Amino acid sequence: MKILLLGSGELGKEFVIAAQRIGQTIIAVDSYENAPAMQVAHGFEVINMLDGEALDRIVAKHQPDFIVPEIEAIRTERFYDYEKQGITVVPSAKAANFTMNRKAIRDLAAKELGLRTAKYEYATSAEELQKAVLEIGIPCVVKPLMSSSGKGQSTIKTESDIEKAWQYAVAGSRGDVIEVIVEAFVDFHSEITLLTITQNDNPTLFCAPIGHRQERGDYQESWQPALVSEKDLYEAQDMAEKITEALGGAGLFGVEFFLTKEGVYFSELSPRPHDTGMVTLAGTQNFNEFELHLRAILSLPIFEITLEKAGASAVILASEDSTNPTFSGIEKVATLPKTDFRIFGKPTSRPYRRMGVVLSHDSLATPINEITERAKETAKLITVN
């Protein structure tokens, strides 16, 4: 099969590797050359994916069997036409289009499906944001409707933060939609990602829950399995199945939830492998999240997903701008037991850009906080120069 991968970051790179292992052909697309997934794909294209005509040209040029989005900033309304042409959009044109911005997916979850979510409002200007904050209350969280990895996300703690939050959200927004969602602050004790796999001819499957910690709206560490009560896990699985069924198609979804004293709150959804799911590269499961995504796409039956060991991931961040980043400390990490790492191969760095990840694993009997702390401390050994 020929797969057109739209977005070629580190998640796309691992997906390409999984696809290469079972003989698929991949064309990787991004807005810059030498993106991580391009380095392992059969071919590549450099375009602005918000340019619908440019997108049409490469689809016509390559005639793919599958279109697999890896990012949000794509002219996703074109996907409906591609489906009519007989191309499979992953997981579906509806899923990709709805999850391109937080407005469609939040309204689907809260208004149509009745899932428990934080109270929310929308704003298209600083003045509207002021009114929305008064309605929601302080503290609250502001996010661009179109963004990823926490870009443009901030917490308003006082009225003086409102203007700064608007400017930060606009600067961090992807695409051409200038609108934000304002969410009431949820008093949660933990947050999880539930990797949910929908299949064409088989039941929906769930991976063991993944816990994660965020800073600046971006994940810093993730661990599997997260400690979740049976009641909360059942509620999260029920919500995940409802929303992925409504979106349709086959593939892996990363569904995020807040766990509170009152129960489970739906937070966000990505119709693709999730950054917190990189912990599965530590061998925590019989199939990692990229292999599961691929198998679901290709309608290969997934008999079961088994938890093989406990594991954690911790990010390696850049601290400065560079057009030729190098790494030190890798030799130290290589000597450590039950530890691995991935360097993504990004051609440039900037402060807080995710450049790699450290992976730790141990037996299921080992306390997960010990494994997570090990990964966190190990990541500090690698510096980006």
Per-chain mean pLDDT for the chain: 95
- Which whole-number Å values give the CA distances from 203 to 51, 89, 251, 304, 315, in the listed order? 37, 20, 12, 11, 33
Strand residues in 279-385 grouped as ranges (E): 310-317, 327-328, 339-343, 354-362, 383-384
Residues annotated as binding site for ATP? 102, 143, 148-153, 183-186, 191
Q: Find the catalytic residue in 8, 148, 193, 196.
A: 148
Give the per-residue pLDDT at 41. 98
Residues comprising the binding site?
10-11, 70, 102, 143, 148-153, 183-186, 191, 256, 268, 275, 346, 353-354
**Domain end among 140, 164, 184:** 184
Domain assignment of residue 110, yes or no = no
CATH number at residue 319: 3.30.470.20
Answer with the one of 140, 158, 184 that is the final residue of a domain: 184
Is the backbone of residue 219 left (phi > 0), alpha (psi -120 to 50) or beta?
beta
349 and 212 within one domain: yes
Active-site annotation holder among 241, 268, 308, 373: 268
DSSP string covering 179-217, please?
-EEEEEPP--SEEEEEEEEE-SSS--EEPPPEEEEEETT
175 and 202 in a single domain? The answer is no
Same domain, 163 and 49: no
Would you mind telling me the total number of residues written for the chain in this entry? Answer: 385
| Known active-site residue 283 | no
Q: Which long-range contacts (CB under 8 A, 24 or more apart) does 135-140 make?
A: 136/182, 136/183, 136/184, 137/184, 139/185, 140/182, 140/183, 140/184, 140/185
At what angle are helices 162-172 and 126-136 packed, to 10 degrees? Answer: 120
Q: Are 304 and 358 in contact (CB under 8 A)?
A: no
- The SS3 of residue 336 is coil
Based on the fold, state whether residues 210 and 125 are members of the same structural domain. Answer: no
Which pLDDT belongs to residue 227?
A: 96
Place of tokens 């402060």: 351
Whether 148 is a known active-site residue: answer yes
Catalytic residue among 354, 356, 360, 374: 354
Give kind and range of the element (H or E) at residue 224.
strand 218-224
- Residue 105, in any domain of the structure: no
The amino acid that residue 59 corresponds to is V
Q: Is residue 99 part of a domain?
A: no
**Active-site residue (options: 150, 217, 329, 345):** 150
- 76, 154, 193, 276: the catalytic one is 276
Q: Do 65 and 157 fall into the same domain?
A: no
- CATH number reported for the structural domain that contains residue 14 in this entry: 3.40.50.20
Assess if residue 98 is contained within a domain: no
Write down the catalytic residue from 121, 179, 275, 289.
275
* 289-297 and 10-21 helices, crossing angle to 10°: 60
Question: What residue ranges of the chain have pLDDT lower than 50?
Answer: none
Same-domain pairing of 231 and 315 = yes
Cα-based angle 192, 223, 291 (whole degrees, multiple of 5): 90
Q: Do 287 and 139 reside in the same domain of the chain?
A: no
* pLDDT at residue 216 in the model: 80
Q: 377 and 275 share a domain?
A: yes
Same domain as 219, residue 137: no
Q: Indicate the helix (H) or strand (E) that contains 260.
A: strand 251-260
**CATH code, domain with 152:** 3.30.1490.20
Of 159, 184, 209, the last residue of a domain is 184
45: phi > 0 → left, psi -120 to 50 → alpha, else beta; which?
Answer: beta
In a domain, 258, yes or no: yes
354 assigned to active site: yes
Do the strands 339-343 and 205-206 form a parallel or antiparallel pair, or are they unpaired? unpaired
**95 is a domain residue:** no
- Does one domain contain both 160 and 254? no
Q: Which is nearest to 251 in space by CA: 305, 218, 211, 299?
A: 299
**pLDDT value at residue 53:** 97
- Residue 102: the pLDDT is 76
Flag whether 107 is in a domain: no
Number of domains in the chain: 3
- The predicted structure's pLDDT at residue 150: 67
Is position 276 annotated as part of the catalytic site?
Answer: yes
> Are residues 368 and 253 located together in one domain of the fold?
yes
Rounded to an integer, what distance in angstroms lies between the CA atom of residue 251 and that of residue 294?
Answer: 7
Q: What is the pTM of this model?
A: 0.94
Q: Which domain holds residue 157?
A: 119-184
Same domain, 338 and 204: yes
> Is the Cβ–Cβ distance between 257 and 251 less than 8 Å?
no
| Binding site as annotated, residues for Mg(2+) | 256, 268
CB count within 10 Å of CB 376 equals 18
Two tokens at 59? 């689809």
Q: Is 275 tagged catalytic? A: yes
Does 106 fall in a domain?
no
